[in-house]
Chains A and B, each alone.
Chain A
Amino acid sequence: MTAVETSRRISVEVNGVTYERDVEARRLLIHFIRDDVDLTGSHIGCDTGNCGACSVILDGKLVKSCMLLAVQADGASIRTVEGLAEGGELSPLQQAFHTHHALQCGFCTPGMLISATALLERSPQPTDEEIRKGLQGNICRCTGYWNIIKAVKAASGQEVVE
């Protein structure tokens, strides 16, 4: 019979590096990423699945890592905010966030960047409506949404009206 285990050894690729760790079955993926792998860019905002600060891309799909168990990611490939810049160069999206002041306190920013990255990979020239729908799972409690939408639009090469 398939074994029922309270902990197991998992192997997860994060931003191109494979990590093997023993984890409890109850461990959430966000805690694995932040505490076991020590990549603290992904944040825990609400811990209830609402805010999206913990968003990561798991096998090409945008997910909230507080609503998955780490054991469920065994064998998967994950991208976090740390994987966006290449060779110390900000991605065009990160640069656009800087240019358009798309962050205030910055707490939601990692999740916003990851969700917008996933959106632009699905839809390289999104309309304002698509951007809003693409980011609806991410909450900014500074309420700085306008500049975030502008930054995503600019990163996609579309004209932005200031």
Chain B
Amino acid sequence: MLPREVGYARPSTLAEALEVLAATDGARALAGGQTLVNVMKARVASPDALVDLNGLDELKGIELERDGGLEIGPMTTYTEIVESAEARARPVLGEVCAQIADVQVRNRGTVGGNICANDPTNHLPPLLVALGARMTITGSGGERTVDADEFFLGVYMTAVGPDELLTKIAVPPGRRDGFASVTIGRDGTCIVSAAVSLDGGPRVAIGCVDAVPHRATGVEAKLNGNTSIEAARAAAAGLGATLDPPDDIHATADYRRHVAEVVVARAVVQAGARGDRR
């Protein structure tokens, strides 16, 4: 399999990258390429030009803020999150990045690519919704900030416009987070995933059941600080009936409704077990 002919540019500053994106018809940003290069090979995507973001040092790195929040550059790889001392301020981030695919993919794949691709089975969209992250999007007209709840618009679609780039992910301080999933093989594609954050929340987001991460507000309302498995199951009970998940070769819709309740309960217990000490 070969991608069709494509243009390639490797800018070294954000301003240059935005300029090339705006000036080139059919241009797309290339982050880690662990999704995009594959779909180009299969010719599911056929951009006319690629703007490689790997030369943009300003989009890499993780900073720990004074209040305990994190600012993550979207071109930071999963491996860099796993190995980052700063990212341990919010331990769930490294734990989830360590569950994505395999060593090779984690070495190239980026946080920004994961959320901008917004494949419904990706790990980070529901996680960042549960954490209440805020995304900074930059275009030629300047910057704007979008809440994770508003960022994901549809399958493979986000609030980032064709001439714009995601330039920062701000994660508020907190610690009591959990993430659980049922996957196709270890660290494989999620069949259903759930992310829970009890700090500043509770916030519960389910992946793989809709085009965008599903905020389980009914479960959030029932969580009362008790994070025993019995209480977590009671809070999750009835969630499945409110979902309309896809039916595919990996699982039936009914199975996903059932598993959604199971993984939410597991994620709640995990979050509660973390305690609130730094």
Contact = CB atoms under 8 A, between A and B. Distances in A.
Contact of A25 (B7, B20, B34): B7
B52 A137 contact: no
Interface residues of B, number: 40
Nearest to B16: A2
B103 A1 contact: no
Contact of B54 (A25, A52, A72): A72
A140 B50 CA distance: 33
Nearest to B1: A47
B144 interface: no
B249 interface: no
A2 B8 contact: no
A64 interface: yes
Contacts of A161: none
B7 A67 contact: no
B103 A134 contact: yes
B9 interface: yes
A3 B11 CA distance: 8
A64 B104 contact: yes
A1 B16 contact: yes
Interface in A99-144: 115, 118-119, 133-134, 136-138
B221 interface: no
Interface string B93-126: 0000000011111011000000000000000000
Interface of A: 1-6, 8, 24-26, 28, 47-49, 52, 55, 61-64, 66-69, 71-72, 74, 115, 118-119, 133-134, 136-138
